[in-house]
Amino acid sequence: MIHKTLFPLWLLGGIFLFLYSFTQVDLSLTFSQASIFQQVQKSFQYIGWFNRPLSAYLYIGIIFYLSILFIITLFAISKNKISKKSLWWIIILVAVILTPSYNAFSYDLFNYIFDARIVSHYGQNPYEFRPLDFATDPMLSFMRSTHRVYPYGPVWLGITAPITFVSHEIFALSFALFKIVGTLAFLGTAFFIGKLAAHLKMKNTNFSIALFALNPLILIEGLVSSHNEIVMMFFAVMSFYFLFTKRHTFSLMGFFISVGIKYATFIFLPIYIAKLFIKKLSDRSLMQFTIALGILAVVITSVASGQNKNPEFQPWYLLLVAPFISFSDNKFIKSLLLAVSFVVLFSYVPFLYNGSWPVQIVAIKNTLVVIGILIGIIFYYLYKTKIK
């Protein structure tokens, strides 16, 4: 019976997050010229841009709702009260609802679209030309980071440029296709997590899937904001599945595609070398090393993106490690993931409340990570003490 209760609760959670995302639509952006759509859009924008305290409180409420529902769902799965079929219905439901959501918490999706347009529309090389070099393009009115050249791998350009080409310069269509790519990568990652969990003989494969696919941070950064890390990690997780099932050609293809999207997954190369040349290591042991490398990738990415030698953590960096924590038997590691992924989502609150990032936002984000780690440690030892 419990899955019948969770289904409508996740339906509501998905709808809440979907609707809230449109409160953040940039004031310079119009998806449709239809007057009724513009009226609806402006009513949502009024909340996000002109009633910011309400917007921040709504966001906090949604985060608490989804996080509590996430914990309840994990608990139900741990008690075998949710079947795999029911779990996948919930995951697919939430994914379908959030696919047309607005990228409320990041402008990166617009940069993906414009970078691809430099190729498909202007016939230029985005590694040499910046968005600012096309100053008359109307997209620049609602973009950020227009001063940089293309920072991603050539594979990501190979995926995205055809999308802007087939959309015939219709922004809404390009937007929709990019969001669909993110959703397919999200669902594919969850699918291969399930396959890997079964291969590794995890105690509860449903738990491994849900730990990733229903985490509010993954829903926000992977489905709502559609960061390209979700596509990168789909190919990485798929590659590991083929590696452990001895389909090495497909494994290496997936690995190079993943690295060619954003380079960060190159850090997992030692796992491939160890699997191919050190026969004594079990697949379960290798996955534990993968978790350690994923955490290292988060640290390196934070350091590389920082300014003035101050590391800057971003919530979506956790996509680099979250899929692999699903394969850990260590409750301490899982506690840290749950706590950190919950706490770092509050890094958006200052902007939602004030409309600008505070000067000390980098310190705030890094402090939230530390707070999340401390909360994870406290809850783990409270749980451990209770069990004893």
Residue 383 · residue 335 · CB < 8 Å: yes
- Please give the torsion angle defined by the CA atoms of residues 164, 165, 171 and 176, in that order, rounded to the nearest 10 degrees: -60
Question: What was the pLDDT predicted at 387?
Answer: 56
Q: What are phi and psi of 307, to 5 degrees?
A: -125, 150
CA–CA dist 234, 146 (Å, integer): 28
CA–CA dist 104, 25 (Å, integer): 7
Written as six digits, the tokens of 165 are 């080409």
- List 310's β-bridge partners, or say none: 307
CA–CA dist 239, 193 (Å, integer): 11
DSSP letter assigned to residue 34? -
**Every domain of the chain and the residues it spans:** 2-387
> DSSP alpha helices (H): ranges in 22-145?
35-45, 52-78, 84-98, 108-120
Written as six digits, the tokens of 253 are 């293809």
Written as six digits, the tokens of 342 are 């919950």
Q: Which residue from 344, 355, 316 is spatially nearest to 56, judged by alpha carbons?
A: 355
Residue 70 · residue 356 · CB < 8 Å: no
Residue 340 · residue 291 · CB < 8 Å: no
Question: What was the pLDDT predicted at 379?
Answer: 84
How far is C-alpha 366 from the chain's CA centre? 19
Q: Which residue from 17, 305, 31, 21 is spatially nearest to 142, judged by alpha carbons?
A: 31
Return the CA Rg of the chain: 21
Question: What was the pLDDT predicted at 281?
Answer: 82
How far is C-alpha 188 from the chain's CA centre? 13
Task: Give the pLDDT of the chain (388 residues) as one tens digit per residue.
Answer: 556 789 999 999 999 999 999 999 998 888 777 778 788 889 999 999 999 999 999 999 999 999 999 999 999 999 989 999 999 999 999 999 999 999 999 999 999 999 999 999 999 999 999 999 998 988 998 888 889 999 999 999 999 999 999 988 788 999 999 999 999 999 999 999 999 999 999 989 999 999 999 999 999 999 999 999 999 999 999 999 999 999 999 999 999 999 999 999 999 999 999 988 887 888 888 898 999 999 999 999 988 876 666 778 899 999 999 999 999 888 888 899 889 999 999 999 999 999 888 888 888 888 999 999 999 999 888 877 765 5
CA–CA dist 302, 267 (Å, integer): 14
CA–CA dist 84, 195 (Å, integer): 12
Written as six digits, the tokens of 328 are 């850990």
